Amino acid sequence: MYKKLYEFFESIKFLIMKNTSFIKPDECNLGENWVDYYLELSNIKKGETLYECEMGFNYQLKALEDAKKTRDGWYCKVQNTQNEIVELYVSADTQHHGPNLFRAPQYLTSDEEKGSVYFIH
């Protein structure tokens, strides 16, 4: 049973790491004030590179437009690393957090070959 679980997790690891780039921590210029790296949807500007960080993954996005306000909330079109266009949206009535957006990747991983890196999806 444990061998099958190990094989399963290794296959998932392969799928997750396939076509994944990475950034070394010293390339991020994170500085001292981590609060500055959280990004509200309403503050996104065209051309910015941003990261949606969720459940251990850093998803790199590029803003295709400035965030726009509607009477119902905020939205912004972004492009992911697979060149898919996605629309981020936060309702004015949202009672929970919206997308976890940051100016730099948040999840640091230790890799045997590369050392400490931020894997980018």
State the residue for tokens 């500007």.
45
- Please enumerate in sequence order all residues whose Cβ is within 8 A of that of 41, keeping only pairs 6 or more positions apart, or say none: 67, 74, 75, 76, 88, 89, 90, 98, 99, 101
User: What pLDDT does 67 receive?
Assistant: 95
Q: Which residues pair with 87 in a beta bridge?
A: 77
Domain boundaries, the chain: 21-120
User: What pLDDT does 37 receive?
Assistant: 79
Cα angle 49, 109, 14 (rounded to 5 degrees) comes to 95
pLDDT along the chain (121 residues), means of 10: 48 49 73 70 94 89 96 92 91 75 87 83 81
User: What pLDDT does 78 receive?
Assistant: 95
> Is residue 114 within 8 Å of residue 22, measured between CB atoms?
yes
